[in-house]
Amino acid sequence: MCMTDGLQALSPPPRAEKAAMIVRLLLKDGADLPIKSLPEPSQIRLTRALGALPAVSQATLDTAAAEFVEELEAMALTATGGMHGAIDVLRDQLSHAAAEKLANEAGADDPTHAWRRIAALPSEAQSEILQSESTEIAALTLSKLPVARAAELLGLIPGDRARRIACMTSQIDDLSTEAAARIARALVADYCTTPAPVFDRDAVDRVADMLNATGRARREEVLEGLDADDADFAQAVRKALFVFANIPDRVEPLDIPKVVKLLNPEQMTAAIGYGLATPGDDSAAAEFILDNLSKRMATQIREEVEDAGTVDQESAEEAQAALIQSIRDLADGGEIALKRSTA
């Protein structure tokens, strides 16, 4: 055994040195490592460890690689990628205000992320920065954007302003990292914070939901009024509606038995009976449902409809609404997939 191996055996390398070994090994094999995504202090520590890496014996490298693989295999969960990763994971569960507050707090500690948020702004907001802020801030912002976007923005602002910003770009090379970070945080606070929406869904969906739960006569009355006041909005609402008559257009034939199982017999009889008694799309929807059930079940429902006689309109519309809700519940649970509306 050579003296180097003996010393390494007596004194195992620290974790930073072992990490540097693994990174050097992976880079040697041509791996594309996302080192840029690490926090800046980690990038600096890793680079220093690589710079200080001594000659490493094969035995030491093998041991470090084996420990690395063992740690990977022992991991049951991995971190979410810091605060930004946690926000991304929980975005659908967080309120708009909470997500904005957390993103701003996280950006305060990570200027790189702050610049990414600024780069993700629509061109109109970026153009506002270039025209409203000082030429120094505008030049810094432009320098932090991808070249293609920067060129596009220069074409959107007045020529004289564009020339002053371009000239200032050559004068900000001495700007300190801390000053640039402060500017990034200020820009995020001013331009990247959006007000929480008053409604979770747009007006078309909200009106459609209300009309879905409204009786046929009142629904048609409201739609006629919308036609007169705003034909485009009325058309969009009609497309978003999901009522009994829309079932053939939205539900796959093979999914009908799953839907029917969720309704009690009285509801099914009322919904189908009222549909069959209503000429047009409702009657076609009722036949569509019956055609996609087993022959025995379809016959049984038809017989129950005959025995029930005339169905009370209010009760029938409630039964049809329950049928639609059952379809929505199955779709929300991932048990069926609704077809896109073609209305």
* pLDDT at residue 302, as a whole number: 94
Q: Summarize pLDDT for 53-98 with one digit per residue, the tens.
A: 888 888 888 888 888 778 777 765 555 556 656 666 666 666 666 7
Instruction: Give the pLDDT score at 300.
Output: 94
pLDDT at 19: 83
pLDDT of residue 303: 94
**Low-confidence spans in the chain with pLDDT less than 70:** 1-12, 75-97, 99-111, 194-200, 342-343
Q: What pLDDT, on the 0 to 100 scale, is given for residue 255?
A: 94
pTM (two decimals): 0.45
Other beta carbons less than 10 A from residue 190's beta carbon: 13
Domains of the chain: residue spans and CATH: 3-74 (no CATH), 94-191 (1.10.220), 242-332 (1.10.220.30)
Residue 112 pLDDT: 75
Tell me which long-range contacts 105-108 makes (C-beta under 8 A, separation of at least 24). Answer: 106/82, 107/184, 107/185, 107/188, 107/192, 108/185
Q: What is the pLDDT of residue 27?
A: 84
The mean predicted confidence, pLDDT, of the chain is 83
What is residue 7's predicted lDDT score, i.e. its pLDDT?
42
Task: Please tell me the chain's helix, strand, coil percentages from 3-state DSSP, rounded to the nearest 5.
Answer: 70, 0, 30
Taken in order 177, 183, 185, 191, is the CA torsion positive or negative?
negative
